[in-house]
Amino acid sequence: MIPFNNLKPLHNRLAGEINAAVQRVVDSGWYILGPEVESFEAAFASYHGVAHAVGVANGTDAIELAIRAASIGPDDEVITVAHTAVATVCAIELAGARPVLVDIDPRTYTMDPAAAEAAITPRTKALLPVHIYGQTADLAALVDIADRHGLLLIEDCAQAHGARFQGRLAGSFGDMAAFSFYPTKNLGAYGDGGMVITGDAGLAERLRRLRNYGQTSRYIHQSRGLNSRLDPLQAAILAVKLPHLEHLNIERRDLAGIYDQHLNHVIIPWVDPDSYHVYHLYVIRSSKRDKLMAELKQNGIETLIHYPVPIHLQEAYADLGYPRGSLPVTEQIAGEILSLPLYIGLGPDQVEYIAQTVSRISEKLLNE
């Protein structure tokens, strides 16, 4: 059986460094915020070429706090996509704003800039594109739209650690950018964790206050906030992993290249020439997706779908008012996409075997 993901090989490679970092935190006696978090925040900000990074409890909180820090709330609209993890829309609503969902580009599966611009109303306060699967949205177009309409740009970078657009890192274009360090991410913690980065000192100060109950100093609360703090243990682990991110992404790109070379009878990922794709996920498309997925399982290959039901068609979000057919590209993609195994420690021979098996089964299904 080839699992969809396996986090053990990467841990084994870095175990000495990680175990030492964990022991350092345990021995320090400092277990909430403090120097480990501050050190990793500084390193993460420096990596992205921005002035500020604020560690929070998870990626959902990162988006919510970014929206709150921008004073976006009730009666305000934030434009995003339905082709994303539910956390994106959940965070908008947790901040009190209304999510406005638009369709996606049929090649990159990211926000369609034209659809986003068409959805702008007097209540719109921000664009929230999702850099899905490891490739950025069209940031040139989205930055232009945000600037012309006086909107904030908040990047959802949960799947795009180290991805680039026109040579610049994802997260460095927007007024703020939100990251998740969920364990399966390209830069993953050993539990939950998140970060917001920004070049704006005022936003950074508000973020730090909001993540810690709205405190300006101990027991003094200038505003209402919440408890959302990056754990020092996770910060120490992430600080070990960050210097390895670039070459780990190259390893992922090399595995994706093997898929590209050997896959037939399916649609492989399209890479925008302006983008540097880091393949958080390797996602193919097939009109016979469900049968292909079932037969791959019979052949010992585990696959997943990211994501099988778009948010606007989820029962929980029916009241948003987007009936079936309202986001046609999103709905078509959701019925055809399939994520293949891709992780550090997956061997090139295994990737070639998966690709050959996918191609063989797909050819048979197409000829049925």
User: Closest Cα partner for 307 from 132, 93, 181?
Assistant: 132
Burial classification of residue 202, based on how many CB atoms lie within 10 Å of its CB (0-12 exposed, 13-18 middle, 19 or more buried): exposed
**Rounded to whole angstroms, what are the CA distances from 179 to 55, 156, 161, 192, 287?**
9, 7, 8, 11, 32
Domains and CATH numbers, the chain: 8-102+109-243 (3.40.640.10), 245-366 (3.90.1150.10)
Record the tokens describing residue 150, joined without a space.
């006086």
Biggest alpha carbon–alpha carbon distance for the chain: 69
pLDDT at 207: 98
pLDDT at 209: 97
Burial classification of residue 227, based on how many CB atoms lie within 10 Å of its CB (0-12 exposed, 13-18 middle, 19 or more buried): exposed
Residue 92 · residue 320 · CB < 8 Å: no
Burial classification of residue 135, based on how many CB atoms lie within 10 Å of its CB (0-12 exposed, 13-18 middle, 19 or more buried): buried
Q: How far apart are the first and last CA of the chain?
A: 27
Strand partners, 80: 101
Residue 70 · residue 150 · CB < 8 Å: no
pLDDT averaged over the chain?
97
Q: State the pTM of this model.
A: 0.97
Record the tokens describing residue 215, joined without a space.
């405190």
pLDDT at 222: 86
DSSP class per residue in 287-341: TTHHHHHHHHHHTTB--B-S-SS-GGGSGGGGGG---TTSSHHHHHHHTTEEEEP
Taking the chain (368 residues) in runs of 10, the rounded mean pLDDT of each run is 97 98 98 97 98 98 98 97 98 98 98 98 98 98 98 98 98 98 98 98 98 92 93 98 98 98 98 98 98 98 98 97 98 98 98 98 96
Q: Is the dihedral of CA 167, 86, 88, 244 positive or negative?
A: negative
- Kindly give, in sequence order, each residue whose CB lies less than 8 Å from that of residue 23, ignoring residues fewer than 6 positions away: none
pLDDT at 29: 96
The C-alpha atoms of residue 151 and residue 183 are separated, in whole angstroms, by 32
Parallel, antiparallel or unpaired: strands 168-169 and 164-165: antiparallel
Residue 56 · residue 62 · CB < 8 Å: yes
* Segment 5-34, tens digit of pLDDT: 999 999 999 999 999 999 999 999 999 999
pLDDT at 5: 98
The C-alpha atoms of residue 259 and residue 254 are separated, in whole angstroms, by 9
Phi, psi angle pair for 255, to nearest 5° = -65, -40
